[in-house]
Amino acid sequence: MTTTSTELQTQDLDFKVSYTPTEIKINNYDEMKRRIENYVDTYKGSVVTAQTVAGDKLVRQQMNKLSKALNDRRKEIKREYNKPLAAFENQIKEVDALIKSVIDPIDVGIKFVDDQEREARRLKVNDWIAEIAAKYELTPNDLDEFNDSWTNKTVTKKKVTEEIESLFMIKRKQLDQIVEYKMVVESYARANHQEPEAWVEFIDAGRTAAEVIKMIDQAVRAKHQRELADAERQRKAEEAAKAIAEMEAQQAQSKAVEVNDKHIDYETGEIIEPTPTVTETIPEVVDEAPKTIDLSLELTDVTSNQTYLLRDFLTDNQFKFTLTQK
């Protein structure tokens, strides 16, 4: 956009509007109103009858004529009265359109410059983000959100970098905690004869180590219940097979005859071998209360997150404990 060497001064465009109020007056207003009010009093609550209908019609005709004359004159005066107003409004709209044609391109130019400056500030903020990310061994992509207010012209570098530093500090702690959670879950899964990979995925999905440990415990208990159920089914199957074998042996003995100390099936002539007797000893199960002991465990170089994990694990598994920091 080009301008002349002389700056435009908006005060040179000042203007004044001349306006003289117009008086609109009904000359005999008070007298006319008084007479009409007399008619109002006369006909208030009146009833038209056969004797008064002719006079009533005449009064109605006169009132309608007066009402029409008043409103016709009102409309006529209003049209004349509005003519200078309409002309004035058209002039204002015409000039205002010219003014807008000056403002619009200036607005576009200002927005273009503002956008360029904001983008320059954004690039500078991105440099700050990369610098602070490296400090925490992270990348700019680890920043969860970019606050657009950081590119405001009025915001200071100190404020922006402090906010970025706080976000990366939180992110670093979150990632470190996830690593610790995974180590705890992996170790606990292996100790319970579980494949750790599947359980570690729950940490990536946002679960805490304490939550996953509870899930592992539930899985271990469910597996144990299945094993007990399988063992019970196997025991019953063996008992059934044993009973069937004994029953068949008894049936075979009932068909046998003894010849020279041998049992022979009199139907088939086969020698029947005696069924060996197996004596099964079932150990007695004594339901005793578990014995308890007191243990002392000393941990070194423990982080605060590991302390919370240990506390949650001991609490969830109903250990009685006291944590003391040296």
Give the model's pLDDT for residue 5. 40
Cite the DSSP H helix spans in 136-208.
Answer: 157-191, 196-204
Give the model's pLDDT for residue 304. 66
**Strand duo 262-265 + 256-259: pairing:** antiparallel
Give the model's pLDDT for residue 265. 57
| Residue ranges in the chain whose pLDDT is less than 50 | 1-6, 278, 280, 282-283, 285-287
Q: How far apart are CA 66 and CA 59, in angstroms?
A: 11
26, 32, 64, 67, 74 from 70: Cα distances, Å: 10, 11, 10, 5, 6
Q: What angle do CA 225, 227, 230 make, to 5 degrees?
A: 110
Beta strands in 43-174 (DSSP E): none
Give the model's pLDDT for residue 10. 58
Rounded to two decimals, the pTM is 0.50
Helix (H, G, I), strand (E, B) or coil at 265: strand
pLDDT in tens, 190-209: 999 989 999 999 998 989 99
pLDDT over 70 for what percent of the chain? 81
Instruction: Yes or no: say if 216 and 192 are a contact pair by the CB < 8 Å rule.
Output: yes
> Cα-flanking dihedrals φ and ψ of residue 72, to 5°?
-65, -40
Give the model's pLDDT for residue 277. 52
Q: How far apart are CA 263 and CA 273, in angstroms?
A: 8
pLDDT in tens, 29-54: 999 999 999 989 888 888 889 998 99
Give the model's pLDDT for residue 7. 55
